[in-house]
Amino acid sequence: MHDALEQLRRRERELEAEVLRLRAERDASVRAPDPGQRTSAAGSDLLFTAAEKTRMPMIITDPHQPDNPIVFANRAFQDLCGYGADELLGRNCRFLQGARTDPAEVARVRDAIAARRDVVVEIVNYHRDGTPFRNELYISPVYAPDGQLRYFFGSQLDVTRFRTEEGKLAESEARYRTLFDAIDAGFCIVEMRFDSAGRAVDYRFLEVNPAFERQAGLGEVVGRWVSEVIPGLEPRWLDTYGAVALTGQPARFESGAVALGRWFDVHALRVGEPVQHRVAILFNDITERREAETLLRTTARERTTERDLVWRASRDLLVICGYDGIYRAVNPAWTEMLGWPAERLTDAHFEDFLHPEDLDAASAAVGRLSEGNILDNLDVRVKTVDGDVRWISWNAIPQGDHFYAAGRDVTERKALEDQLRQSQKLEAVGQLTGGVAHDFNNLLTVIKSSTDLLKRPDLPEERRQRYIGAISDTVSRAAKLTGQLLAFARRQALTPEVFDVARSVASVADMVGTLTGARIRVETDVDPGRAPDGTPLTCLVDADPSQFDTALVNMVVNARDAMDGEGRLSIRVRRTLTIPAVRAHPRMRGDFVAVSVSDTGSGIAPEVLERIFEPFFTTKRVGQGTGLGLSQVFGFAKQSGGEVLVESALDRGTTFTLYLPRVAGTAAPHEPLPEPAELADGHGTRVLVVEDNLEVGAFATQALQELGYVTRWVTDAEQALDALRGTAGTVDIVFSDVVMPGMNGIDLGQAIRREWPALPVVLASGYSHVIAEQGTHGFELLRKPYSVEDLSRILRRAVAQAAAS
């Protein structure tokens, strides 16, 4: 640091010397002839000639003409400012000034000219191209022999470079001085003194930083000798610093100073010229660290005996293992707990003793340990010598090229946890089946009562239509109920497409007022943010838009009910890069769209919060809710690759946040397909019906025949393929169930697509894990229960599309 300061100061002195040299050269030029002397007309010619020959930029102005114009400008001045002689002559030199010119300096020049005296100023002028330069301007009057003023003589000195260099030097020196003052380490520069034999006998403090006193415990040392400040300093300190000063070889060492009662970590190096014998010393007080090390060394021997006792007596598995997975040492508990002798384990790989399903987790844990991370509570199964396994919970810490691990037997705990989970599953199944039975019994009651009434003779037509409508509406509610159950179970057959969440929220927000009532104020806030280039981001997701709308409405209705008809409901859409940890799942990183629905209602009690997504769980009174709305939200989020979180506080409101993966691309166009025209009776479209359920197959064929279709019915996929191979040309469309024994409907459709690519296939399903997990593979899907109108419509559309392609 000191060398850098010395270099800055040396460079500053060199710049000052160069400026003085240029000024001397300018003054010499001015003295040939001296413009301050009386001069004749011939002398004036000599003045012009001398000014032309000098390398210094010079001008001559005539104070007897209006506005004191330039009457002469030498070549050096023209080169400096960039203007030719014809552009300069006749003009006042103020035209070279500009916005950065200091008016005070201009005033000094004007006052000197008015007073007929010399003046030297630094003033900012401008080149022809508009760039500024700092000019040291010297102006002097020139008199005739009779004492009359003839001219004003002006010489220029461009000092821009020097002022810039001076600024840089000052800035650099300030920066180094700030660093010098701010560092926590002690720093000083000393000057060594040697005896006639060349042995270091003392040194004087030349400079110290503010941290010096704190690190060394010494104050007011600048200018004093160390023999005066620390009379009993050990000779080795002088010898070390003396060697640095004489040889130029830096020294790094740790040593104690008995006189100060401290230990120091020291870095010493020579600075300045060798003959100056100066040494810069950077040091830190390490007394506490050395004392701690001494204490550790003292107690280490005592603790070695304790560790040996723990190693032998511990009932937990203890092991020292390398990051290559090789056991280096194990304690006797391995033999007592698992039956493995120590010689069988030492130098063996840990994978030889783990259950195959736990190898990946264990390998990943060793990888994290090798990166310096601590391992907490990794549960894996370890084999016993007789082939059984026991659950071991491991904790480990890295140490050098290996790690220490301790494993506790948690087999009994795992067994209890499995029993508890099984009990919870049975409870959930009981609650689910009870809820389903309750709701379906209600629906079946309506259907049964309506069908009984329809059997009465002489029933008026108006009542007949009412009972038929009741049956139809009840079937629709039953279909909705099963759809919610499948959504919760993540078995709903979704129809994903890329759509804009912001647009869907805006559409649903238009109808929210109808759902909530006039006393609930609805607010929407859509802010997906902006890309680094400033363009607005989109809120595109790849999910089922109708299921999304249903989930949003379910959250809105839940918020409405929590506010008892009055309050504020906020719907917010934003982009986020993380999903917080929830329900034992770690935080997820990615690119997500978050849709939040917040209310100012009564909030949710903590003991209820964990159960709100359970099917048929509700805190509402009987008849006010099925308890499936939030279950549908949960199932839709999970099946779409997202998550749903809830935050609530009693009497302060609740916020539900639905997270869905954000995607790139463009939204799918929302143009409804035109419905085909009604088919007349006897149209003759030939349908191969594939349905293993006898009742459904009989109904489908009978209904299609009533509408004028020609049908053939088979009960499995193999029969369907045989029928097509024999009479493929006599079939216009295949209508197949998805869930069938043997080959399912998806596989059948793909086989037909390979062998008869022009033959359309329509699938029907009330539930299929294949469709829920893999989609429809491009086939039209009719969800059960379906109406005759829905069946006819989808068949007509599929036939029309096949004919058009």
Of residues 458 and 517, the one with the higher pLDDT is 458
Same domain as 574, residue 453: no
- Write down the pLDDT at residue 623: 42
Residue 221, domain member (yes or no):
yes
Q: Provide the domain count of the chain.
A: 6
Of residues 643 and 76, the one with the higher pLDDT is 643
49 band by pLDDT with thresholds 50, 70 and 90 = low
- Write down the pLDDT at residue 204: 94
Pairing of strands 733-737, 761-765: parallel
- The average pLDDT across 306-330 equals 84
Q: Is the pLDDT score of 712 beyond 80?
A: yes
- DSSP assignment letter at 326: B
Which of 135-149, 178-192, 744-758, 761-775 shows the highest mean pLDDT? 744-758
Of residues 714 and 673, the one with the higher pLDDT is 714
| Residues facing 304 on adjacent strands | none
Same domain as 655, residue 507: yes
Q: Is the pLDDT score of 1 beyond 70?
A: no
Same domain as 225, residue 253: yes
26 band by pLDDT with thresholds 50, 70 and 90 = very low
Same domain as 389, residue 276: no
Q: Is the pLDDT score of 288 beyond 50?
A: yes
Of 463, 488, 513, the last residue of a domain is 488
- The average pLDDT across 674-694 equals 68
Residue 174, domain member (yes or no):
no
Q: Is the pLDDT score of 700 beyond 70?
A: yes
Residue 305, domain member (yes or no):
no
Q: Of 591, 595, 575, 569, which is closest to residue 527 (Cα–Cα)?
A: 575
The two tokens of residue 801 are 């599309």
Burial 153-165 (b: 16+ CB within 10 A, else e): bbbbbbbeebbee
Q: Is the pLDDT score of 768 beyond 60?
A: no
Same domain as 135, residue 28: yes
Q: Of 722, 727, 712, 773, which is closest to residue 743 (Cα–Cα)?
A: 722
Same domain as 11, residue 105: yes
E strands, 159-261, are 186-194, 200-208, 251-257
Residue 175, domain member (yes or no):
no
Q: How far is 411 from 749, CA to CA, in rounded Å?
A: 49
With 0-12 CB in 10 A as exposed, 13-18 as middle and 19+ as buried, what is 631? buried
CATH of the domain at 646: 3.30.565.10
- The average pLDDT across 260-279 equals 89
Q: How far is 501 from 657, CA to CA, in rounded Å?
A: 13
Same domain as 124, residue 44: yes
- The average pLDDT across 373-389 equals 89
CATH of the domain at 450: 1.10.287
Of 290, 306, 322, the last residue of a domain is 290
Same domain as 630, residue 769: no
- Write down the pLDDT at residue 4: 47
Residue 307, domain member (yes or no):
no
Pairing of strands 186-194, 200-208: antiparallel
| Structural domain boundaries enclosing 108 | 2-165
Residue 672, domain member (yes or no):
no
Same domain as 785, residue 702: yes
- The average pLDDT across 33-61 equals 57
- Write down the pLDDT at residue 48: 66
Q: Is the pLDDT score of 616 beyond 90?
A: no
Q: Of 416, 391, 413, 395, which is closest to residue 404 (Cα–Cα)?
A: 395
- Write down the pLDDT at residue 528: 76
804 band by pLDDT with thresholds 50, 70 and 90 = confident
Of 628, 646, 661, the last residue of a domain is 661
Same domain as 639, residue 590: yes
Query: What is the percent of the chain where pLDDT is above 90?
Result: 15
The two tokens of residue 208 are 């110290």
Rounded to the nearest integer, the mean pLDDT of the chain is: 77
Q: Is the pLDDT score of 494 beyond 70?
A: no
- The average pLDDT across 773-784 equals 71
DSSP letter for each residue of 255-277: EEETTTTEEEEEEEEEES-GGG-
Which of 278-287, 417-426, 668-677 shows the highest mean pLDDT? 278-287
- Write down the pLDDT at residue 142: 80
Q: One-letter amino acid identity for 615?
A: P
Residue 280, domain member (yes or no):
yes
CATH of the domain at 727: 3.40.50.2300
Q: Is the pLDDT score of 492 beyond 80?
A: no
Same domain as 46, residue 155: yes
- Write down the pLDDT at residue 205: 94
- Angle formed at CA 247 by CA 242 and CA 251, multiple of 5 degrees: 65
> 508-560: per-residue pLDDT in tens?
766 666 566 667 888 888 887 777 777 777 788 888 887 788 788 888 888 88
Q: Is the pLDDT score of 31 beyond 60?
A: no
Residue 690, domain member (yes or no):
yes
Of 145-159, 378-392, 593-607, the range with the lowest mean pLDDT is: 145-159
DSSP letter for each residue of 747-779: HHHHHHHHH-TTS-EEEEES--HHHHHH--TT-
CATH of the domain at 335: 3.30.450.20
- Write down the pLDDT at residue 303: 61
Measure CA 590 to chain center: 9
Same domain as 252, residue 284: yes
306 band by pLDDT with thresholds 50, 70 and 90 = low
Q: Is the pLDDT score of 267 beyond 80?
A: yes
- Angle formed at CA 559 by CA 473 and CA 539, multiple of 5 degrees: 90
